[in-house]
Amino acid sequence: MTAQTIVGILADSVRLRVFSAIVLGATTLPDAARAAGTAPKDTAAAVRKLVAGELVTDDDGELRPNIAYLRAAARRTATAAPAPGGGPETSLLRTFVVDGRLRSLPAQLERRRTVLRHLAQGTFQTGHTYDEPAVNDLLRAWCEGSGTDHVAVRRYLIELQILDRGDGRYWLRDDTAQRD
């Protein structure tokens, strides 16, 4: 997951308030709702998305911020920053990915594959499986405000063999993770 995806998850005001409450010490849903000033139902939905995005861990009802994951994402972002000027791929990504959001999808197949591979490498961890709601939440963060449907993106990721799926689970293909 990229820093942009993390910011996308936290761009929702309820999720941000709930995440802040957890960072500041709330360890249960009622504590987080009280500290964040949010309705219990909204708090539960926010926690589900924060857990799906791996920003929060839920160990038998005990909520904790996943600080190690955030640090790892920050390190990946620092080391993965494209060189100034970049090549044709960097230019392509700048055209279709703006501020960590997917602006649109290229019509040309190889360009679409490049953009979606970038999105997948920045969103999904190698060796980790995701259920469909988690995949939808992660892709929704990329597609928010773009007019691009996250379900279509999920379908393209499967069709272009960037993600695999089976038994209701999705994962990043090993050959996708090794490119670039």
The answer to whether the pTM exceeds 0.75 is no
The answer to whether 116 and 160 are in contact (CB under 8 A) is: yes
Tell me what pLDDT residue 104 has.
Answer: 86
Domains of the chain (ranges, CATH numbers): 3-69 (1.10.10.10), 82-178 (1.10.10)
For residue 72, which phi and psi values (nearest 5 degrees)?
A: -65, -40
Nearest alpha carbon to residue 110 among 68, 75, 156: 156
What six digits make up the tokens of 116? 């979606």
* 180 residues of the chain, pLDDT tens digit each: 567 778 888 888 999 999 999 999 999 999 999 999 999 999 999 999 999 888 999 999 899 999 888 877 776 654 444 445 556 677 788 888 877 778 888 899 999 999 999 888 888 888 889 999 989 888 888 888 777 889 999 999 999 999 999 999 999 988 765 544
The phi, psi pair for 58, rounded to 5°, reads -125, 100
Contact between residue 1 and residue 122 where contact means Cβ atoms under 8 Å apart: yes
